[in-house]
Structures are given as structure tokens and as C-alpha cells.
Chains A and B, each alone.
Chain A
Amino acid sequence: MPESTFMPSTETRFEKIGENTLVVNMGPQHPSTHGVLRVVLELEGETIVNLDVQIGYLHTGMEKEAEYQQYLKCVTMTDRMDYLSANNNNLAHALAVEKLLQIEIPPRGQALRVILAELSRIASHCVWLGTHALDLGAMTPFFWIFAEREKILDMFEMFSGVRMMPSWIVPGGLRGDMPEGFEQALRTFLKQFPSALSDVEALLVTNPIWIGRTRNIGKLTTDQCYALGLSGPIIRGSGEPWDLRKSNPYSGYEKYDFQIPVGQNGDVYDRFLVRLAEMRESVKILQQAIDGLPGGAWSSSDRKVVPPPREELDSSMESLIHHFKLWTEGFHTPVGEAYAAVEGPKGELGWYIVSDGTNTPYRWHVRPSSFMNLQALKPMCIGHLIADVVAIIGSIDIVLGEIDR
């Protein structure tokens, strides 16, 4: 096809409900739809009278791809879904596979998982805070909070050499122990992060323009949240203290002392405050986790799932066979199905795995929190102005990699 006639197929399936209204495509290429989300808006003046969310521009087919991959190789795909909090994805996947295998992780491994997951939560909330502020026109918080996120990514790099997608939490435990220098870096971070967060809060929390832009925008009641299947900071912002770390604890979260922030009005501003408070709660958890970090093994001792340490290979024939089998064939899971969910930064993040007894999953399904939460966009936006759409999208905190999978 000659270049001059090339036009992408971009048919819009959308029915107008009003007369003299303007239909505008917001996205897929738009600065504040956080990726390639496409929202078709019907505007009367600047008021939204109808909208349609169209997804699929980042579809990667990872769920199908996983059916052809061994469990350990699936891990790298989990990172790339919610790429802003990769460790939580790793953790949810690992928990589901471990539930199938019915293996236990030693306490040190669990504590390290909690550390990685909470750091990921802070990093993800940092990105949310920066982009949410940028969407509403406040440039400076973006740069200030990204400096903090850099420190977290540097810590991830200490673990695995990869900044955003460490793939460090695997079924059976972790890929390795805490690296040298990590503890010091984490303690330094925990000491200075709350004050850095306060700097950003000072720019926004009591700013009249910010309050004007976010108060009473995109209100949701608890009932609406339940009806739409929402979770995470959105339902907590509406006043429901629902948190999987409390209601269905995993990785030893029941041992940590932390509280659940809840809002009152269920508007954009409350979700904003809830996420800010969550970061401080995460700091509390991290402090407890690093202070009470148990010794011992960090991975399961099940040699069918976790490869033996390098030094065993020199002395034990059996270890060598395990090692070889694990890295060529992988492990087999018993026939059955398992669903495990973690409280991701964006809400309930679950993995549903059906096993037919082979070394690859029969069905590998994700319950992405962003996908569910995005449903709330329409009821939240109708009747508000076009500028509120970006505030509402920002308050949902979506990641398109997770939505389209």
C-alpha cells in the first residue's frame, strides 16, 4: 500500500445520546490517559453527557502466551503487566502457584517478599502522585516525587540488576537473598522519605486550587464500589476499610502493625489522601519488616521447585539432576485450580491458575485491579467537565499494561 493512502482503521462505535453534542476521542494518544486508553467523550459544551471506554491498544496476549511457558518463565511476564509495581504481580503469581504446589515459604523469605511488595507499593504510588498532579497542572510534585522513586528503583537494582522488573519473587521463594548494602539503603530511605513526602503534600493537600479541582469530583458510594467490583484505594476512599492484607493476610502480613486509611466522601480528593496515608503506612510496615527480619533460608527447601544452591551441585548427584530438570523442564503442578490475590497498590490483584498436571499452566488468568477499577470511569465522569476526566482517570490510577494484558 502506498504511504500516501495509508490511514489506520479507526472506526468509532459510539452512539450519541444528545443533540448538538460534540464527540471527542480522548486517547489513545493523549497526554493524560496514562498510556493508550481511549475514552470517547460526548460533550455538551464542556460537560460530559456520555462516554465510552475503549481498551485493547496495548494487548499483548500474555495470558495465552503463559499457557506455553513453564511456571518460572511466566514470572517475567507478570512484571510487565502492572509495570509500576512489578513485585506485587510477582508475589500474586507466586502465591497462586505455591497454593497449587502447597508449599510453605520460610519466614525470612516472607519478610523479604513483604519488603519488596511494600517498596513497590510506594514506588507505584509515587508515579501515581506525580502523574495525577501533572494531569491537574501541578508540574513540580512530579519531579520531586520521582526523585524518591529513583531511590526505590535503585534498591530493586541492588537485588536483581533490573530497576523496574526485578522478577525476584518466584514460586518457591525468592531468587536470592537480600544483597549487601540493601539494609542500609532501605533504612536511609525510610528515614528521609516521610519528609520528602511532606514537601510534596505541602504543595497540594491544602492548596485551594487543588481542593477545588478534586473535592466532590467523581464521587462513589460504598454500594457503588461493591456493585462495580472496585477495590483498593477507591473503595477505601469511599469509607470501606477493605484491605486484603487484613482480610486475607498473605506472606505474614498479620504480623505487622499497620492501619488502613479510609476516606469519607469517596471523591477524588479522598482517594488522593488515602493513597498518601497508605505510603506512610507502608513505611511503617517496612520499618517493622527490616527491624524484625528473621534469619535462615529465604526459599522453600523443596528441591522439586527451588533449584539447589550452587555449592551442592559439586557434591550431590541428586542436586545436579534437580538443577538440570528444573532449568529444562520446570516443575509440574498437581491437577487443580488456585486463586491467590494480593493487595496491590491499585486494588485486589489476583491470579487464577488451572493446572492439568503438566509443567505449564492450563489456564493462567489475571484479575487485574486497574481493569475492574476502570469500570467506575463512566459513572464517575458523567455530568462533570472535560477537565475532571483527567482528574478522575488519575484518581483511578490505571496501568494499561495490566488492563489489556
Chain B
Amino acid sequence: MPGSIGCPLAHLGPRFCGKIVEPVNPYLPIFVMIALASVICIAMVSLSWLLGPKKSTAYKESPFECGVAPTGSAHERFPIKFYLTAMLFILFDIEVVFLWSWMTVFRGWVEKGTPSAMYSFWAVMVYMVLWFLGDFYVLRSGALEWEESKTLHPEKFGKAVDEEAPYVQPVSEDAA
């Protein structure tokens, strides 16, 4: 129904407004936008390669680690915590997705006063209670605690973690 759109440039003549007749896929401008944005982004990261000087040395090419040669590889295995966070994100995000469709219809039901409004409301409340339980469980089980470290386990590291004991024992007088 493009004809029904009020054209703000109507006073400029039919050249600007008169020809809107065929319906177009509403997503088409988005694809145009994606294409334009991709071209600009690729151009931007490639242009300096064309424009800038190229004088590379071995030292310049070494990775920056505060001015010294790096120890070990940067592609070490990193802790499971990050995967855990990502996994929790996916879980909670899926739970979020389930509700999107309900949210788009709920207002209409409430306004019309259909019984499905009340029914779906309580269904969602039960869902949300489970959601809160899940969230509570995640927090209680320490899935998002970041301080803990296996290497620092007291058996492995000894006194340094023990906050009560001094790191270096004071020299007792009778020791000398």
C-alpha cells in the first residue's frame, strides 16, 4: 500500500511522488545498506596498505610485549570460565528468545480482554519463576566467580594465599 504513504515532497510535483506503485520487499534497503557498508569497511582497512610506506624490519614485526621478547605463545589454552560465560549467555539468550513472540501479542490480548491474556500471563510467570531459579542457581554455584584459581590452591602454593600468616616469617630472636 505504498500509495497511501503521505508524500512530504508532493508540492514538488508528481516526479517525486507519483510513481510509487509496485510493492518492494521491505528488506531490500537493508541489503543495499549492508552492501554499501561492506564496501566502505573493506576499503578502509585496505586503503592504508596502498597509501602508507612499507619499511618492515624484524624488530618492528615482533609482537609488542612491553619492549621485551615474549615468553611462550599467545595462543595458550585459556580458562574454561570464558566458555562457561559464553554457554550461560546462550542458555539465557534462548530463554529470552522464547518470550519475544509472546510480547508482541500480549498487548493486543490485554486490550481486547481475551482470556488468553490471563492464561498466558500466568504461564509466563511460571516460566519466569523457573528463570529466576536458574539465575539463582548459576550465581550460587559460583559459575561467575572469577577469583578462584587452581594453581593457587594452598597445597600448591603454600603460605602466600594464607592471609593470616606473614609472607616472610619474622626472624625470631632465639634462632640466631
Complex CA–CA separation, A17 to B171 (angstroms): 27
Contact A383 B69 (CB under 8 A): no
Contact B167 A224 (CB under 8 A): yes
User: When A224-B167, A227-B170, A228-B167 are in contact, do A18 and B151 touch as well, CB less than 8 Å?
Assistant: yes
Complex CA–CA separation, A132 to B157 (angstroms): 29
Contact A7 B69 (CB under 8 A): yes
Digitize A1-27: 1 where CB-to-B-CB distance is under 8 Å, 0 elsewhere: 001111110111010011111111111
Q: Give chain A residues whose Cβ lies under 8 Å from the Cβ of B66.
A: 25-30, 38
Asked whether any CB of chain A lies closer than 8 Å to the CB of B166, the reply is: yes
Contact A17 B167 (CB under 8 A): no
Pair count A-B, CB < 8 A: 115
Q: Give chain B residues whose Cβ lies under 8 Å from the Cβ of A179.
A: none
Q: Give chain A residues whose Cβ lies under 8 Å from the Cβ of B62.
A: 7
- From B33-41, B72-80, B126-134, give the one contacting chain A: B72-80
User: When A227-B166, A382-B160 are in contact, do A6 and B151 touch as well, CB less than 8 Å?
Assistant: no
- From A39-47, A111-119, A333-341, A357-365, give the one contacting chain B: A39-47
Q: Give chain A residues whose Cβ lies under 8 Å from the Cβ of B160.
A: 378-379, 382-383
**Size band of the interface chain B makes with A:** 35 or more
Contact A44 B152 (CB under 8 A): yes
Interface residues of B in 71-103 (CB under 8 A from A): 71-72, 76-79, 81-82
How many residues on A have C-beta within 8 angstroms of the other chain's C-beta atoms?
44
In-complex Cβ contact of A25 among B71, B81, B150 (8 A):
B71
In-complex Cβ contact of A382 among B58, B68, B77, B161 (8 A):
B161
Contact B157 A11 (CB under 8 A): no
Asked whether any CB of chain B lies closer than 8 Å to the CB of A160, the reply is: no
Asked whether any CB of chain A lies closer than 8 Å to the CB of B149, the reply is: yes
Contact B167 A28 (CB under 8 A): no
Asked whether any CB of chain A lies closer than 8 Å to the CB of B57, the reply is: yes
Asked whether any CB of chain B lies closer than 8 Å to the CB of A219, the reply is: yes
Contact B151 A49 (CB under 8 A): yes
B157 CB to closest chain A CB (Å) equals: 7
A234 CB to closest chain B CB (Å) equals: 14
Q: Give chain B residues whose Cβ lies under 8 Å from the Cβ of A288.
A: none
Contact A11 B69 (CB under 8 A): yes
Complex CA–CA separation, A226 to B157 (angstroms): 22
Q: Give chain B residues whose Cβ lies under 8 Å from the Cβ of A224.
A: 166-168
CB-defined A-B contacts under 8 Å, sample of 23: A6-B58, A7-B58, A12-B68, A17-B151, A21-B76, A22-B78, A24-B65, A24-B71, A25-B68, A29-B66, A45-B81, A45-B146, A45-B149, A46-B146, A49-B157, A227-B166, A227-B169, A228-B167, A228-B168, A378-B167, A379-B160, A383-B147, A383-B160
Pairs of residues from A and B, 6 with the lowest C-beta to C-beta distance, nearest first: A18-B151, A379-B167, A29-B67, A10-B68, A45-B79, A47-B149
Q: A7-B59, A49-B151 are in contact. List 17 more A-B contacts (CB 8 A).
A: A6-B57, A6-B59, A7-B62, A21-B151, A23-B72, A25-B70, A29-B66, A38-B66, A44-B79, A44-B152, A47-B147, A224-B166, A227-B166, A227-B168, A379-B160, A383-B149, A383-B161
